[in-house]
Amino acid sequence: MNTKSNETSHQLTDEFSTQLPIWKLLAFTVAGFLTIMTETMPAGLLTQISQGLRISEAYAGQLIAVYALGSVLAAIPLISLTRSWNRRPLLLSTGHSYKVETILFIFGISSIVGILITGMFIDRSLRKITLLSLFIFAIATALLGVYSSSSFVVLTGVVLWGITFGGAPTLLQTALANTAGHEADVAQSMLVTVFNLAIAFGGMIGGGLLESFGAASFPWFMLAFALIALCTVYQARKHGFISL
């Protein structure tokens, strides 16, 4: 009798342990959403910020760069110091223009779609979906550069951009975790550092381009970086984006 009850309890424990913790994941999702929103919100308010502070939009955009640099400085030290801590009590103790708005909204929805698509295929085709995402992103930037006067083409480019961007963090994190193995925590902190460095330098470069050449120059520089990323992933056959 005791043996049967023990077997039953083990089966129930195994069943509960394999269930997806939806509400816990949702809490982390909301926290991540709010965190990223505070970092990227100035992108949609550059005109208002520049007018309120009486500075150019290029300088107003550096708010994002400064925020990102703070993340760069904090990511690795914080992960190193807290990697052995229980996350839950740690988090509890810390308390932790119309067209522009429309485009940002479309971009956000497209990013969500990109996350869903990435989740469907990432386990089976990490390398292929990463290469495809970068290729589509390159096409999107080319569309924005060539047909910037067409509202339909611009919106199409933004949709493609959002879809490819939405799944990018998941693709990078998965490749990094597969490569780092047991040291995934430290590796992920390095990803956060590099990611925010890219945001910081992107803001600086973007501000310089806006002042010197105007916003029309953005797509061509984005295309150049997209092609560099595409070549990098293509060459990474043995580590990260393994060719099966």
Please answer whether residues 162 and 168 qualify as being in contact, where contact means their C-beta atoms are separated by less than 8 angstroms.
no
| Closest alpha carbon to 242 in 114, 134, 128 | 128
Residue 5: pLDDT band by 50, 70, 90 thresholds? very low
**pLDDT value, residue 123:** 81
List helix spans (H) across 83-150.
87-94, 98-121, 126-146
DSSP state, 243? -
| Burial class of residue 238 (count of CB atoms within 10 Å of its CB; 0-12, 13-18, 19+) | exposed
Q: In the predicted model, is pLDDT for residue 108 greater than 80?
A: yes
Residue 59: pLDDT band by 50, 70, 90 thresholds? low
Q: Which residue shows structure tokens 């640099």?
A: 69
109's tokens: 């929805």
**pLDDT value, residue 94:** 42
* Distance of alpha carbon 123 from alpha carbon 234, whole angstroms: 18
Q: In the predicted model, is pLDDT for residue 1 greater than 50?
A: no
184-212 and 62-82 helices, crossing angle to 10°: 170
Q: Rounded mean pLDDT of 4-30?
A: 58
Domain boundaries, the chain: 23-235
**pLDDT value, residue 83:** 58
Residue 92: pLDDT band by 50, 70, 90 thresholds? very low
User: Highest mean pLDDT range out of 17-26, 56-65, 160-169, 233-242?
Assistant: 160-169
Q: In the predicted model, is pLDDT for residue 36 greater than 70?
A: no
* Distance of alpha carbon 232 from alpha carbon 237, whole angstroms: 10
Q: Rounded mean pLDDT of 15-19?
A: 54
Residue predicted with more confidence, 103 or 80? 103
* Distance of alpha carbon 119 from alpha carbon 123, whole angstroms: 8
* Distance of alpha carbon 90 from alpha carbon 211, whole angstroms: 43
* Distance of alpha carbon 244 from alpha carbon 242, whole angstroms: 6
Q: In the predicted model, is pLDDT for residue 22 greater than 60?
A: yes
Domain 23-235 has CATH 1.20.1250: yes
**pLDDT value, residue 9:** 46
Residue predicted with more confidence, 22 or 139? 139
Residue 95: pLDDT band by 50, 70, 90 thresholds? very low
* Distance of alpha carbon 53 from alpha carbon 126, whole angstroms: 45
* Distance of alpha carbon 81 from alpha carbon 104, whole angstroms: 36
User: Highest mean pLDDT range out of 111-120, 178-187, 225-234?
Assistant: 225-234
Q: How many residues does the chain have?
A: 244
Q: Above pLDDT 70, what percent of the chain?
A: 65
The C-alpha angle with vertex 45 and arms to 167 and 75, in degrees rounded to 5, equals 50
**pLDDT value, residue 65:** 62
Average pLDDT, the chain: 74
Q: In the predicted model, is pLDDT for residue 30 greater than 90?
A: no
Residue 4: pLDDT band by 50, 70, 90 thresholds? very low
* Distance of alpha carbon 74 from alpha carbon 53, whole angstroms: 28
pLDDT by residue (tens digit) across 139-175? 999 988 888 778 888 888 889 998 998 888 888 888 8
